[in-house]
């Protein structure tokens, strides 16, 4: 049984579906405010399937992700009492406390870093609203951070992806289980 190889093959097939950009946009919005799966898992196969659309797909992902970030911001600003139980149910309770401390120390820079890095961006969108960060700087930091991440991924996959597709597919189980193990290790450390 090779679950990650099957998932990879399914994503490659779904990436060329005529409604794939709509799914990518929806996942991008949802991930920035509540959904656990990042849009990268759709963006990269879609760019691999259609490298000529790399910039268009990166733009869609960026704009929808920032829109989702604004929804997360609103959740933090208007409904933090309802959001806290969801954050704790998702297993992010301790991380939420850590995010608040980082936010106090780093402000807008933490939003930029969270947007670019693989850490849960949604926690920072909610924290931005909760801590009443001015909306315009939040949006600008999100556009730069998220855009930098998604455009870099699109560039790398469009240039290197077609040549590496067979190698990536053959290594998918190692990659997938390595990510699961790394995530578990980071979770235990945090």
Full domain range(s) for residue 99? 3-171
- Please say whether the beta carbons of 65 and 32 come within 8 A: yes
Digit-by-digit pLDDT tens for the chain (190 residues) are 687 778 777 767 777 788 989 989 988 998 888 777 788 878 888 888 888 999 999 999 999 999 999 999 998 899 888 878 877 887 878 887 887 787 788 888 888 888 887 777 888 898 899 888 899 999 999 999 999 999 998 998 898 877 766 776 777 677 777 766 766 666 566 5
In Å, what is the CA distance from 36 to each residue of 18, 39, 62, 105, 135? 24, 10, 17, 26, 24
Q: Which two tokens stand for residue 40?
A: 């990268």
* pTM for the predicted model, two decimal places: 0.76
The reply to whether 187 falls in a domain is no
Residue-level pLDDT at 18: 86
The reply to whether 33 falls in a domain is yes
The reply to whether 186 falls in a domain is no
From CA 8, how far away is CA 26, in angstroms rounded?
Answer: 20
The reply to whether 182 falls in a domain is no
Domains held by the chain: number: 1
């Amino acid at each position: 049984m090779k679950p990650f190889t099957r998932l990879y093959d399914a994503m490659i097939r779904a990436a060329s579906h005529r409604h794939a950009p709509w799914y990518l946009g929806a996942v991008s919005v949802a991930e920035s405010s509540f959904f656990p799966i990042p849009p990268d898992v759709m963006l990269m196969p879609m760019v691999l399937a259609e490298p000529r659309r790399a910039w268009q797909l990166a733009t869609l992902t960026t704009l929808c992700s920032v829109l989702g970030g604004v929804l997360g911001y609103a959740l933090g600003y208007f409904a933090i009492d309802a959001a806290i139980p969801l954050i704790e149910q998702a297993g992010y309770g301790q991380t939420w406390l850590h995010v608040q401390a980082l936010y106090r120390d780093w402000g807008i820079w933490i939003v930029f870093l969270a947007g670019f890095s693989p850490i849960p961006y949604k926690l920072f969108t909610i924290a931005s609203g909760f801590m009443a960060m001015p909306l315009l700087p939040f949006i600008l930091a999100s556009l730069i951070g998220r855009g930098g991440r998604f455009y870099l991924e699109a560039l790398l996959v469009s240039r290197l992806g077609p040549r590496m597709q067979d190698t990536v597919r053959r290594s998918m189980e190692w990659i997938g289980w390595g990510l699961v193990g790394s995530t578990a290790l980071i979770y235990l450390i945090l």
